Amino acid sequence: MSDKKTISIVVASDNFYVILVAALLKSIELNHKTDEHIDFYIIDDGISNKNRKRIEEVADSKLITIKWVMSKDVIPTDVQVPIDNSGFPLTVYLRLFCPLIVDKGVDKIIYMDVDIIVKDDISNLWNINLGDYTIAAVQDVAKTVDCEWAGIPNYKALGIPAGSKYFNAGVSVINVNKWRDGNIGNKVIEALHLHKKHVILGDQYGLNVVFANKWLELDPKWNWFAFAENANPSLIHFLDIKPIFKTYNSQEAFKEEFFKYLSYTPWKSFKPISGNKRHLKKIYTKIKKMFMKF
């Protein structure tokens, strides 16, 4: 059994978005009021030594232990990650195997995308009872599998009822043992290869195929999308353009929250950058994928 006094959180980032990790980490620390220690695993996909040191400065080591894991050590060598033509970074596939990299004895984790800040005590999410479920998540903005622009386009062929709820994979509470025993990472990858012409939103498609009508629904406040108004969400997810860009277009109040937490980090002097850099990042990702295909 894992230490009930330790909360285990996993994120994955490259060097470009490591600034988001800083704000997320600080928001978790400042709002954590109960006595659990936090193990914060960062899957490192090319973070510079300079930025690693800066991240180490963000959180109080008495409250949070940062554990670094190299991305090359996360996905098993016999797994072939699908290479699509989207601008989504390959780091999205790391979450499929993150239950394999946590310390021995850890039986539950919270996985988070890095474009998030937490406004509530993370222990309130941690202590949600998973029961017999392998994963808990929040319903996506796409709502159901039959959404025309997202969801699972081939839901009928897969025998999934049209009204089945579709979840956002950016925040999830995971039963580590069930995930490992069920070989979930490989099952999702298999679904992505098998149904590649139907895949929308990368691994989120595969996760919703594997867990169709078999996931625990969380309160929307634990994955509140930043474009929607809410006076007091527990967790804000910047799904669209991130607040580090001048072209940010979600709720202004949430951007202010982001920069409030960032002001407590070594990135406190950071100013929003051109939206062109966002597009260049996506172009770079697409070119990288194109080369990987060959």
pLDDT digits (tens, 9 = 90+) for 9-48: 999 999 999 999 999 999 999 999 999 999 999 999 999 9
pLDDT band at 186 (very low <50, low <70, confident <90, very high): very high
What is the number of other CB atoms lying within 10 angstroms of the CB of residue 75? 20
Burial of 154 (0-12, 13-18, 19+ CB in 10 A): middle
φ/ψ of 139, rounded to 5, equals: -60, 135
DSSP letter for each residue of 206-228: HHHHHTTT-SEEPPGGGGEETTS
From residue 187, alpha-carbon distances to 193, 199, 207 in Å are: 10, 15, 9
**pTM to 2 decimal places:** 0.91
CB 64 within 8 A of CB 25: yes
Tell me, what's the pLDDT at 103? 96
Residue-wise pLDDT tens digits, 234-293: 999 999 999 999 999 999 999 999 999 999 999 999 999 986 766 565 555 555 545 544
The CA-atom distances, in angstroms, between 22 and each of 42, 45, 55, 266, 281 are 11, 15, 6, 8, 19
DSSP state of 91: G
